[in-house]
Structure 1
Amino acid sequence: MLVRVMATSLAAGEYFGMRGKPLPIRIYMGLLKPKPDFVVGISFAGVVESVGGGVTEFRPGDEVYGECHGSCAEFAVADVGSIAPKPRNLTFEQAAAVPTSACTALQALRDHGKVRPGHKVLINGASGGVGTFAVQIAKALGAEVTGVCSTGNVEMVSARSAPTTSSTTRRKTSPKAARATT
């Protein structure tokens, strides 16, 4: 499917990849300079321009969001299995922030961590892209959530369902965080 990209978001890995750091990432991005056909970006939100034969789930004009390589472009080619209808209550910018970060958090907590009601979950980087979703998803799964973030983000993380929040600027783990995770 061809999608006109209305918004995209960059994860930390993409940001560092564009800078060529850490050095091993250059194997993928290009050793001395970016590969000529390499376009940065994975998560996007946009409007379907055209669909291929056999695609019945979407039509031109549909608002969608999802993942594909090269989303930092005016147009992107996406597989029908990698996109979904954009929720009407989200702007394109908000929807573009969801695919990679939210899916990473969901898979880590639900599929790999097997988080269930009553589990105690500590989320480091609770104010970052993945962490913000992880706090909310863990809470929705019924876990007792402790978020770790910088002092300036404690209020935001607490408001997002992590009533126990610890600041990374402290030298020792707070007793409250230690109790919450034991």
Structure 2
Amino acid sequence: MKAIVFTEYGSTDVLQLKEVEQPEPEENEVLVKVYAAAANPLDWRFMRANPFLARLENGLQKPKKTTRLGADLAGRVEAIGSKVTHFKPGDEVFGEKFETGLGGFAEYACVPEEALALKPRNLSFEEAAAVPIAALTALQGLQNDGNLQSGQNILINGASGGLGTFSVQIAKAIGTKVTGVCSTRNLDLVRSIGADDVIDYTKTDFTNTGKKYDLIFDTVGNRSVSDLLRALKPNGICTVAGFTNMTRFVDISLKGKWISRTGNKKIGLMKTVHTNKKDLLFLKELLESEKIVPVIDRHYPLSQTAEAIRYLEKGRARGKVIITVA
């Protein structure tokens, strides 16, 4: 089968489309014929070994083994392991491979049964592939880390990206008032997916407006702890799901932890996303009821995966970037 692989760290130039051996499912795995996958920031971070600490696990000078990319996928079940009970060959499914070594940018992939759900009947494979990592991150970041409650006044920083567009819609579905922060060209998009208010960051600094929020979900990680504190209500929570550089990462990790322990506001990095059947099925319900709708910016064929990740790295994608495989 064909798959995108790399054997050294670097820019998108290290990515290769190669013939590799088709995997065989373990007893608790499902072999999926991949129809579509989605590019995520974690792909280029793995590719570049950014942050550098990732090399401690994956290899200091170069990856310990030929490495694949692609966390999100959607496709059709080709075969199942001996202990799989919820799927059968022919089922249309969507899910993720983040916790099992990636590999979605390929014609076939083996996925644990618990990391898959039946594809929402109203979505195409491309739309379904846009969902798993971004929507799970939004759901778990808002609910588990942010303690999101109906009736709250919340702000999404980076509301027009892949993670941001799902965050706005999930927060609205749970019953909150949402303010989205984005650039001028994306104001209408963020309004169209349900934001009650929008702030153009090129003209207005949301931390200096005097407005305060119960929860800030920061998908960008480009603001300091001091900035974020100004925009939080007493007992407010800020969860940071992304970061622009190591300075911001350290600031949120260390100063945010100190503030959280000594003050009445909490600021911290989101915990690692954990895929589980319950959350996938909850998202499936929201998708089938059209309370959330995937926002897709561009489609690329598997052979142009490097172009897709190069575009995503620019940080200007409106929603998700999709890799069409079959």
Same-fold status (TM-score > 0.5): yes
How far is 1:174 from its partner? 8.1
The residue aligned with 1:38 is 67
The residue aligned with 1:20 is 49
Q: Give deviations 1:103-139, integer Å, cap 9, x for gaps.
A: 1100111222222221011101111111110100111
How far is 1:29 from its partner? 4.1
Q: d(CA) in 1 for partners of 2:120 and 2:53?
A: 37
Q: Give deviations 1:54-84, integer Å, cap 9, x for gaps.
A: 3221111111000112111211111111100
Q: d(CA) in 1 for partners of 2:187 and 2:64?
A: 40
CA contact (8 A) 1:29 1:38 kept: no
The residue aligned with 1:169 is 202
Structure 2 residue identity aligned to 1:103: L
- Change over 3 Å in CA distance of 1:67–1:74 after alignment to 2: same
Q: Give deviations 1:5-48, integer Å, cap 9, x for gaps.
A: 11111211212321333323333443333342421111111111
- The correspondence of residues 100-139 of structure 1 with structure 2, limited to 5 A, is 100-139=133-172
The residue aligned with 2:35 is 6
- Change over 3 Å in CA distance of 1:32–1:114 after alignment to 2: same
Larger RCO: Structure 1 or Structure 2 (Cα < 8 Å, ≥ 6 residues apart)? 2
How far is 1:99 from its partner? 0.5
- Change over 3 Å in CA distance of 1:118–1:35 after alignment to 2: same
The residue aligned with 1:179 is 211
- The correspondence of residues 28-177 of structure 1 with structure 2, limited to 5 A, is 28-68=57-97, 69-170=102-203, 172-173=205-206
What SS is found at the alignment partner of 1:139?
helix
Give identity over the alignment, percent.
46
Higher strand share: 2
Q: TM-score, normalised by structure 1?
A: 0.90
What SS is found at the alignment partner of 1:114?
coil
Q: Give deviations 1:126-175, integer Å, cap 9, x for gaps.
A: 11111110100111111110011111111101111102011121253388
- Change over 3 Å in CA distance of 1:55–1:173 after alignment to 2: closer
What SS is found at the alignment partner of 2:206?
coil
Q: d(CA) in 2 for partners of 1:134 and 1:82?
A: 20
- Change over 3 Å in CA distance of 1:167–1:174 after alignment to 2: farther
